[in-house]
Amino acid sequence: MQSIRQLIPLSLLLPVLLLALLAGCTKTDQAQPIKQSGSLKVITRNGPTTYFEDRSGPTGFEFELAHLFADYLDVELELTVAHSLEDIFTALENNEAHLAAAGLTVTAERLKRLNFSPGYMEVKQYVLYRADQIKPRSINDLVGKKITIMANSSHDEILQTAQLQYPDLHWRSATDVETIDLLELLADAEIDYTILDSNEYLANRGFYPRLKIGFEIGEPGQLAWAIPGNNITPGLNQQLEKFFEKITKDGRLRHLEERFYAHSKQVDTIGSLTFSQAMERRLPKYRDLIQQVAEEYHIDWRLLAAISYQESYWNPKARSPTGVRGIMMLTLPTAKEMGIKNRLDAEQSLRGGARYFNKIHNRIPDRVAEPDRSWFALAAYNVGLGHLEDARIITQQRGGDADKWADVKDSLPLLRKRSWYKNTKYGYARGDEPVGYVHNIRHYYNLLTWVDRSKARTPPPQQVEQYLPESLRQNFQAL
């Protein structure tokens, strides 16, 4: 697969799809083998764990996973974005898509309507609360509280089961919210609690450092792709089984998880809060300058901003005991090499750091693909290219992939151990430091990127009737 067809909002497709259904065309077309039709039709939803757009185009864990499957089938990936889970389920039941890659948990109720691929990630369900609240510890603490969750979610099923034991437990199931909307409602104190899958909490907690886990609710579940219950696509089930078996064995699934989740697993809540405050108070002073320098050196400005924050907390006068100085904390030899005369001048320092990063980036072997290439360049920026190369050789010796950051980051800390570094060219290094360095920058970069994306996103269409009293809602629906 080499191309991706334009993403189309489901709301715009529904009239067309309805006509197609009435004409009896959809199922006929869908019954063709996917390879014969030339495209894999996937429905998804917007969010950092599923699909979003960044400067390089479509991305997200589910998108990249679907991209791999389309490549596996050697067809184009055709994506449709839905705002609600019910829209996704209805589209599948009408055979309007081959599958849904939308961060869906397999549940007993969903199995009555749909089939599922093999599971690819275990998730837990978390009750979330604000740090200024009393921590909820059980379902009993949810009774009488204002709770909003996503309609038709696995969380809806969990609460329905809990309500049998706690009849006074009530909540609102909203069809016009996405994950970010639920988090905003909670952060703004418009609701008391919400429920999120653990992977979505992991991907979003850096954006909302004041939101905490109260307790786990329900049993852990498996994320999987949903396919029509009356699936009529020949061979799809078998292809999915072989695909997931293949990417599990060859490590691509693990590398994808590392790319989208690993940098968030050990996020320091205090550090995220400090960064969020710095984005509001300090970054505006330097944002235009960072963007100007980044554009000059063809670097994503958010990456340059993340590096400069990691180095100096956006303080152009910063100085360390070892003598590195400025907003990019350049050593004196590096500053001279990059032609920088005044390390305390923010513009000069940013240019020197950007130039030095590009120099390292260009020396990473061409076969190393992005984003691993940038993570390698950051590690070398911190520890040096020589030590990075030593770690890559060690990775090969340990049977890993020396071109993947997920494997090399496990080898870098071994440079502290004599049994490993004694046989390397460049010897001892504090190899855990570049791992932490890259981890932090990836986290800050992720925060900056998603803040931009969330500001630009189109929110789900508002469903007014669900906010009305029951008597008015019935009159509204009768119109």
Is residue 394 domain-shared with residue 324, that is, in the same domain?
A: yes
Q: How many CA atoms lie within 13 A of 208 on its CB side?
A: 24
Higher pLDDT among residues 230 and 364, named by residue: 364
Judge if pTM exceeds 0.85: no
Percent with pLDDT over 70 in the chain: 84
For 259-287, write each residue's pLDDT tens digit.
787 655 555 555 667 888 888 899 999 99
> In terms of residue numbers, what domain contains 247?
4-121+222-265
Is residue 140 domain-shared with residue 187, that is, in the same domain?
A: yes
Give catalytic status of residue 280 as yes or no: no
Domain boundary among 204, 238, 265: 265
| Average of per-residue pLDDT values in the chain | 85
Is residue 106 domain-shared with residue 20, that is, in the same domain?
A: yes
Is residue 43 domain-shared with residue 114, that is, in the same domain?
A: yes
Residue 55 has pLDDT above 80, yes or no: no
The number of domains in the chain is 3
Is residue 164 domain-shared with residue 303, that is, in the same domain?
A: no
Residue 362 has pLDDT above 70, yes or no: yes
Closest Cα partner for 236 from 457, 458, 77, 30?
A: 30
Say which CATH number the domain at 129 has.
Answer: 3.40.190.10
Catalytic residue (choose from 62, 96, 258, 311): 311
User: Tell me, what's the pLDDT at 3?
Assistant: 40
Mean pLDDT of 5-26: 45
Task: Find out whether 194 and 150 touch, Cβ atoms under 8 Å.
Answer: no
User: Tell me, what's the pLDDT at 29?
Assistant: 44
Task: Name the pLDDT band for 465 (thresholds 50, 70, 90).
Answer: very low
CA 465 to chain centre: 32
For 68-119, write each residue's pLDDT tens digit.
999 999 999 999 988 789 899 999 999 999 999 999 999 999 999 999 999 9
DSSP assignment of 226-285 equals EEETT--STTHHHHHHHHHHHHHHSSHHHHHHIIIIIHHHT--HHHHHHHHHHHHHTHHH
Q: Six-digit token pair at 68?
A: 């791999």
